[in-house]
Amino acid sequence: MSFEFRDTDVYKLSKVFYTDIKGKLKEEGADRFITDQLRRASLSISLNIAEGYGRFHKADKRNFYVTARASVYECVAALDILYGGSIPESTFKTAEELAKMLSGLIKVFSG
């Protein structure tokens, strides 16, 4: 059995985003609560993409992609709080691209 989701651009980008977040959290001396939440939310993106890919029904796939997209937004909010409104540009761009890609998947599996 092959796990094709591993070859998708959205999954690959979600892994890059998670690695970026992990690296940033090592740099910060931030509140443990916000860093734990950010770590979980950033991991949730990849996991929900994989789980959605493994579903058979359009509505199921869509729900997991919606959850993954919501986790991207959660990460942006946590980063905004962590960095006092000045999220590093590369991290913001990656989050923005992930949200766009997931929105595209949501549209494909709507209806």
The reported pLDDT for the residue numbered 28 is: 57
Q: Which domains does the chain have, with CATH numbers?
A: 4-108 (1.20.1440.60)
Residue 1 has pLDDT above 80, yes or no: no
Reported as a single tens digit per residue, the pLDDT across 18-73 is: 999 998 887 656 678 888 999 999 999 999 999 999 999 999 999 999 999 999 99
Contact indicator for 15, 46 with CB cutoff of 8 Å: yes
The reported pLDDT for the residue numbered 27 is: 67
Q: Average pLDDT for residues 94-103, to the nearest whole number?
A: 98
Q: Backbone dihedral region of 84: left (phi > 0), alpha (psi from -120 to 50 degrees) or beta?
A: left
Contact indicator for 68, 8 with CB cutoff of 8 Å: no
Contact indicator for 97, 16 with CB cutoff of 8 Å: no
Contact indicator for 68, 14 with CB cutoff of 8 Å: yes
